Amino acid sequence: MNTKILQLAIPFFRVIQVIMLVFMTGFIGVLIYSVIDTEAFSNVHLQNTFRARFSVGDFKICPDCESPGSYTLSQLSTYMKLWLLLRGIALMLLALISLQVILRITKSIRDKATFYNRNIKGFLQLFRLGIAIAVLSSFNFFIQGAERNFEFSIPFGALAYTLGCRLLAEIFIEGKMLAEDSNSIV
Amino acid sequence: MKIIVTLDVMLAKRKMKLNELSQKVGISVTNLSLLKTGKAKGIRFSTLLSICEVLDCEPGDIIAIQKE
């Protein structure tokens, strides 16, 4: 087993976790502040924010730019900001928990405890989290004054990831059975 | 039909304890115990050879087919 890749993967996942935590803290802080002070962040443009996909949208600091389908944070109603906040927190939390589970499985494989029950449970947990991510990223809406928009799309990426996790769980179940068989041969 | 291990019979014939066999063969008592009680799913040729050498017997003396 190539332990070098595993040794590299663990700090890599940790760095991603830290970046996500920092981004999440900033995202929550900015949105909560924009709810308190509705005129704040008038130069922050949101692009693709209300599209149905696994993303919280693109935040662009740009004082003068105007593009169709783009809104400034100060233009949004409080309800839309709250929706944006809740959806963003849910997606990021699901991604963070998934990353934590992936990290746990990677450590377990590094410690040569590969085909163990806790890894099978980990992949099944990733499968369930993947379903939640797929459901949450399959729709989005935008209601602001007279403008009403609801978007639905099939999240193929999230579904492929979810299916991959389920397949890996099955592979690990088979691996556990083979390991038990091998261990019971004297 | 199933395969049964008659290691206990051979050990009794040779007046040998499982501990002693374990030391001479170099296999843990736990594994030999699994083999003796029929809980092991299989036996490697190398293990079989070592046991037969120590007990001075043929594989057929410690493995038999039981008709149901």
Q: Do A186 and B32 touch (CB under 8 A)?
A: yes
- The pLDDT assigned to B46 comes to 92
3-class DSSP assignment, residue B2? strand
- The pLDDT assigned to A149 comes to 87
B26 CB within 8 Å of a chain A CB: no
- The pLDDT assigned to A69 comes to 64
Q: Residues B2-53: pLDDT tens digits?
A: 899 999 999 999 999 999 999 999 999 999 999 998 888 899 999 999 999 9
In sequence order, which residues have a C-beta less than 8 Å from that of residue B7 and are 6 or more positions away? B32, B35, B36, B51, B62
- The pLDDT assigned to A39 comes to 82
Alpha-carbon radius of gyration of chain B: 11
Q: Is the pLDDT of residue A62 over 80?
A: no
- The pLDDT assigned to A68 comes to 66
Q: How many helices (H) and strands (E) does chain A have?
A: 4, 5
Nearest Cα residue to B5 out of B51, B53, B56 = B51
Report the percentage of chain A scoring pLDDT > 70: 96
- The pLDDT assigned to A146 comes to 82
A186 CB within 8 Å of a chain B CB: yes
d(Cα A162, Cα A180) in Å, to the nearest integer? 27
Reported as half-sphere exposure (CB side, CA atoms, 13 A), residue A60 has a value of 15
10 Å Cβ neighbour count for A29?
10
Q: Choose between A61 and A95: higher pLDDT.
A: A95
10 Å Cβ neighbour count for A54?
16
- The pLDDT assigned to A74 comes to 85
- The pLDDT assigned to A1 comes to 63
Tell which of B31, B41, B46, B47 to mutate to test the A interface (max A CBs under 10 Å): B41
Q: Residues A120-168: pLDDT tens digits?
A: 999 999 999 999 999 999 999 888 888 888 999 999 999 999 999 999 9
Indicate the pLDDT class of residue A107, thresholds 50, 70 and 90: very high
Q: Complex ipTM, two decimals?
A: 0.71
